[in-house]
Structures are given as structure tokens and as C-alpha cells.
Amino acid sequence: MLSRNVDGLSGWQLLVAGLTLSNLGLAAPVEDSPRQYLLAGLDLPPKYSKKLKSPYTPGFKDPYDHAVDAIGEKLDPLPFRNGIGASVLGPWNYERSRQSPDMVRPPSTDHGSVNNMRWSFADSHIRIEEGGWTRQTTARELGSSVELASVNMRLGEGVIRELHWHKEAEWAYVLDGRVRVTAIDYEGGNFMDDLKKGDLWYFPSGVPHSLQGLGENGTEFLLIFDDGNFSEESTFILSDWLAHTPKSVIAKNFNLAPEVFAHLPEGEKYIFQGSQPGSIDDEKPTGKGVKKSKYNFVHRMLEQEPHLTSGGEVRITDSKNFPISKTVAAAHVTIQPGALREMHWHPNADEWSFFLKGRARITIFAAEGTARTFNYVPGDVGIVPRNMGHFVENIGDEPIEMLEVFRADEFRDFSLFQWMGETPKKMVVDHLFKDDPENGEIFWNKVKSAEKDEVTLPDSENEAETKQREL
């Protein structure tokens, strides 16, 4: 693997330049070397650059602001765009710049000030416990995450997230492994179920529950809470409550001698190694007053029949098909390479996104002439405030898999494509193509069907035409 030298040139740049020199049979002096040209922020002369093509050079021109996959193409982004910019002389975080190429070289359409809308769970503090860990992304980590907060938790085999409840409602997506959930409902009904990757659970505010890792590898999941200021440290925990209640009161409550409670935990257990559970039938309570809950707190999201689009697929889970989930709606979206989660906006809630796979760029239009582009990789959280226009573009070579989560009872969005097709032709053309009727006709013929395509893949003939124009 080629490494970057101390002067800021990537190994591949020096290697390609060196091979070119070798092929030419030249031994360039220091003052006329590819290293010196690149350090000075200059284009390489033809004798050096014959095999070296990078969009991050002063002479590279792209009037259409195409995406660049800096990770996939092993490029080091630099702040050059369409003939302006300069090289970097000071300290530089190369890994960060590859993950956020559109921060280093923003599209020419970006303008003004927009709050930060990206956070990586890799930057969240991890709390390590017996057999597991947890980390969170809230409004404290990501100031724009005002409606929802999140916790990423790992439980090993048999490891328990102890009995607890929250002020906030809890929605969860199983990232991997298997997990058992237990709860009681508002009417005292008992609930137990085992979940796998792609399954959800939802516990309304105040509903007491527990979680336990199953199988050889346990589980990992993403928790969402319907308040951006949520803190995992503010959870109501069984052992913590009893540790702060007089034992005489505990004894009276359970009608037992105080000595029975002499060895209760002295504080919260939080996450701890438990016994390996048996099947649900073996473990379910059977006491005289036990009754089964009439509510379903879980949903098999990935078992839903997907809505297929030209560039991917979408599964939507909200109160329509998961009735108990009154405050959280979500979509699981797959975006194929080259495809686009179409230009749209959400009228009823901020979008809180979590990227499971792939590499993406999102430009957020915030009105008043302001827009900013952010990049996302697996493990990243993204925010788009309600009503702000945006898209999600796959800039990598593998499908994007992402969750769109909302503090709402129903998933809602407006499609720009559909809006144009549902608007009178003259109105559209007068707005966008007043002085260009020929292209106005081309545009109208494309959008007049008003067919919504949530994840759209450009027509191959249009792709070919675009490439031809670029050449």
C-alpha cells in the first residue's frame, strides 16, 4: 500500500509521475519535478501528466459539479475548483478530507452559512461495560439534531441491558445479530419476542422493557429517541431505583422481610452479563396474574415487500403498518451506484439519516440563497431540517443502504419531479425556460408523466449523451 510522504503528495501521484519519467527516459532536476509542481499547486506539464488525471488540480474544469469518489478513486481532495483555489501548506487530515471531498472542494452551487448536518459515530464517546458498550449522538454532539437522538449499543451473548424505562419513546433497528426484548404495556400485559437483523421495536414513553443479546455473537442495534436532548444517562433503571430506596420501603412493597434485600446491587447495573436464556416458551412468566399483551411492539422491516424504483428500493414503516409507532416513522432506502434519491423535501419533520453502507453526497437547500453539500460514509448520521430541499447521490461503487427516520406518525415527502409534472406546462416553462423554449420542451416531455421515482437512475442514453458532451 502506497503511503503519503511528509510533503503531502500521495504515493500514487509520485509513482505515476515516476513511471512517466522512466518511460520518457528523463531524470528531472528538483526545480522541474512533478513533486515541485504539485507542491506549488500547478498543473503537471504534459510530459509528467500523461497518465495522471486528478480533479484536484488548478486546470481541472467541471462546470456541472459532478461528484468525485475520493475514497474509491484513492484521491486526496484539494481546494481547487475551475481554475481557482490553492494548494495546502499547513497540517491536513487526509482521511477526513477523503471522507468529505465536497467540504474540501464544495460545488460551485454551495453558498452561505448552513449549520453542520453531519456527525460520525466514530467521534462519539464509547461507554464500555461488562460484555457490551454504548455510544450516543444527540443534540450535544450534533447541534442540528433537535428532534431525535440516537444510541448505538452492542450486547454480547447473554448480555443484558437491564430493566428500565424512558421519558421518551424508543424506536430501534437491529443492525446485526439477535436480541430478545421484554416489556409490559400500559394495561399490564406481558410481551416477549426475539428479533434479528432488519427488525424494529418501539416502546412508547414510560413502557418498561429489557434487551438481551442472543446467539454466539449477541447483537448490535441503533436506538432512536423522540427528543434530540435525550441522554442515555437519564434512563430510569431498576437497580438504580432500588439502590436509592430505603430497604424498609422495598420490603413493605413486596411484603417480604428486609433481610431478603440485603444484597441488592449498590447502584445501576446498566449492561451486564446474564444467564443464557432458553426459548420464549420456556422463559415466559406463568404466574396467576400474568396476561399476554394485546399490543405488538415489534415489526419486521426488511421482510416488507419493497417499493421498487429505477435506481433502488424503498421500504416505509410508520403508524400505517406499525400502529404502535406513533412518534417515529422511517424508511429503509437502497440506492444503486450512479442513482439518486430524487430531489425532495419533508413537510412534517426533520430527516434524521443513518448510513449503513456506501458513500453519499447530499446538498441541502436552506432558502435565502444558501446551500451546503455534505458527504456521508457508513456509521455517519445526517440531518436535513424539515422543508429543506435535498437529494442523496450515490458517489461510490457499491449500493447505499440508509435509514431515513422522522419524529412523525407518518412518512411524507414531496417530489420535485412529480410537482413539475403536476403543474401546468406554461407555468413550468415560464419559470425555468423563458428564454430557452427548445430545452423547455425537452424538459416538459420528461416530467409531464408526473411519475414519482423515489430513487432514480438516469437513462443510459442520457448518460451516454452527458459523457459525450463532457468529452
Q: Which of 28, 32, 2, 27 is nearest to 14 (CA)?
A: 2
Does the annotation count 404 as an active-site position?
yes
Pairing of strands 190-195, 170-184: antiparallel
3-state class (DSSP) for residue 169:
coil
305: DSSP letter = P
Residue 223: exposed, middle, or buried by beta-carbon count in 10 A (0-12, 13-18, 19+)?
buried
Amino acid at 258: P
- Cell for 396? 461510490
| Residue (of 205, 203, 209) closest to 296 by Cα position | 203
Q: Which of 93, 232, 83 is nearest to 161 (CA)?
A: 232
In whole angstroms, give the CA distance from residue 196 to residue 199.
Answer: 6
Q: How many residues does the chain have?
A: 471
The one catalytic residue in 268, 342, 404, 454 is 404
Burial 366-386 (b: 16+ CB within 10 A, else e): beeeebbbbbbbbebbbbbbb
Beta bridge partners, 383, equal 352
User: What is the number of H-type helices and E-type strands within the chain?
Assistant: 12, 26
Distances (CA, A) of 407 to 43, 149, 151, 317, 347: 49, 10, 16, 13, 12
Cα atoms in the Cβ-side hemisphere of radius 13 Å centred on 130:
13
DSSP 8-state code for residue 264: -
Query: Are 409 and 384 within 8 A, CB to CB?
Result: no
**E strand residue ranges, 72-131:** 80-81, 84-85, 118-120, 126-129
Q: Which residue has the cell 422495598?
A: 250
Decide if 302 contacts 356 (C-beta within 8 A). Answer: no
E strands, 304-399, are: 307-309, 312-317, 329-335, 340-345, 351-357, 360-365, 371-376, 380-384, 389-394
Distance (Å, rounded) from C-alpha 381 to C-alpha 295?
A: 31
Q: How many CA atoms lie within 13 A of 208 on its CB side?
A: 11
Active site residues: 404
